[in-house]
Amino acid sequence: MNIRSLHVPITAAALAVLLTACGGGGGGGTEGKAVSASPNAPGSSSTAGSTGTAANGTSETLDGGTNANGNTVTPVAPTVPPTPQRPVAAFSDEGIRGDVLLTMLDQRTCNNYGVRSTAMDGEPVPGALDDTPEIVLETLLNLPGNTETGSNYVRRPGATGTPGLGAGVLCRPDQMYAPAKPGTTYALAQNTNPVYRFTPESVKRGFHYFGAEMSLRVSDQSFTLGRGLALTETQDLGKAWEAAHPESLNESPKVHKLNLNAAEDLTIANDSLVKWGVLQEWKRDGQPVYQIMVLRGSAPQQARLCWNASMEYVKRLHCTEWTIPASFKRGDELKVAQSLQDDRGTYTEHESGSLYWRATSN
């Protein structure tokens, strides 16, 4: 799939929640076969369809037709047991299993600092930090009221010291992954923001701030992404633009907030097949503003969970890239990397096209 094409409106693909059972043939038994009389049976011949003697003394055909009395005889079809459904594989040519997607949603991307790259799957750009800021890419669950980790993560056994509060403190040494608990509703956040703490003065380009939040409800056998969505973008045109427009230093940053609702909640069974494509989208005036997609990755056994935003400032594709072993089961941690494409057409008149960032695997 051409990643660059994902910034045009994408028609929502159907989400398959059940894998259609494949048909199967019988073995060496009589299922589906015509049954004929034994050639040694009294009063019968070895030819199928010949007459034999019934228990009441009337003559009838063995495979349908008319009996000696001229009555039509309808053969009884053999009973064929239903073919059981095949279990859904964790990863296949069609998509991924539901519990794999849930893990892609509830596991943190620990290495969340992105550096410029030549493409979504490209190599680092030499000297990029001299031109563009480092960025933070993250998807995480927040659980208000959890005073230890602020999320689905838990403290490691034997951990000492002050707990790392807040899910924004990604993958601290005192915390460990724990699957999201059934019966719990979390706040699912997806953020892509610049980091200026260690940025040299030579960096002149900006990077718009962006955040999205929705609910994730987890049950024993399924999970639900809520239809409500809160989006926030903050314009950041960069130091070069600020130097050319000194009056802007006295102005507050331009912030846009948008609350949208999808057509309905999205519920996915843990054992269902999630097909490649768009899972959910939110529209404004008939045009997609935000989309969640599951795409096949470029490496074997790799799937991408992608978040596609098209707002006034932020036009951005952020993907988390997960390696999924065939033996995956719920509770296993997955290896993950991240990539991002940023449309620069919303920055200054001197910029166009796209720039890319990557964060390496955990």
Q: 191 and 333 in contact (C-beta within 8 Å)?
A: no
For position 147, what pLDDT does the model report?
Answer: 74
pLDDT digit string (tens) for 340-350?
A: 999 999 998 88
| Residue bearing tokens 């047991």 | 81
Residue the block writes with tokens 């050319």:
244
Looking at residue 170, its pLDDT comes to 66
Q: Phi and psi of 304, rounded to 5°?
A: -110, 130
pLDDT at residue 18 greater than cutoff 70: no
Compute the distance between CA of residue 231 and CA of residue 258 in angstroms, rounded to an integer.
5
User: Of 3-12, 18-27, 80-89, 98-107, which has the strongest mean pLDDT?
Assistant: 98-107
Instruction: Place 102 in a pLDDT band, splitting at 50, 70 and 90.
Output: very high
Domain ranges for the chain, please list them.
3-8+96-359
Which residues, 6 or more positions from 273, have their beta carbon under 8 angstroms from its beta carbon? 16, 17, 18, 19, 88, 92, 94, 95, 96, 97, 98
Angle at 239 between CA 116 and CA 121, to 5 degrees: 10
C-beta of residue 175 within 8 angstroms of C-beta of residue 156: yes
The per-residue pLDDT for range 223-277, each reduced to its tens digit, is: 999 999 999 999 998 888 888 888 877 788 899 999 999 999 999 999 999 999 9
Q: What is the pTM of this model?
A: 0.75
Amino acid (one-letter) located at 3: I
Strand-pair category, 266-269 with 287-296? unpaired
Alpha-carbon span 231 to 190, nearest angstrom: 10
Task: Label residue 195 by pLDDT band (50, 70, 90).
Answer: confident
DSSP H or E segment with residue 307: strand 302-310
Residue 12's closest CA among 275, 320, 336? 275
Query: In this predicted structure, what is the pLDDT of residue 83?
Result: 65
Instruction: Give the pLDDT band of residue 78 (cuts 50, 70, 90).
Output: low
Amino acid at 320: T
Alpha carbon distance 265, 36 (integer Å) = 56
Cα separation, 362 vs 83, whole angstroms? 42
Range of weakest confidence among 97-101, 147-151, 313-317: 147-151
Residue 319: pLDDT band with limits 50, 70, 90: very high
C-alpha distances (whole Å) from 196 to each of 136, 137, 323, 339 are 10, 14, 31, 19
- Check residue 258 and give its pLDDT: 97
Structure tokens at 112: 């969340």
* Rounded alpha-carbon distances, angstroms, from residue 94 to 16, 225, 295: 10, 22, 10
Q: Alpha-carbon distance 362 to 360, whole Å?
A: 7
User: For position 86, what pLDDT does the model report?
Assistant: 84
In the structure, what pLDDT confidence band is assigned to residue 41 with cuts at 50, 70 and 90?
A: very low
Residue 163 has pLDDT above 90, yes or no: no
Give 288 or 167, the one with higher predicted confidence. Answer: 288
Q: How many helices (H) and strands (E) does the chain have?
A: 2, 22
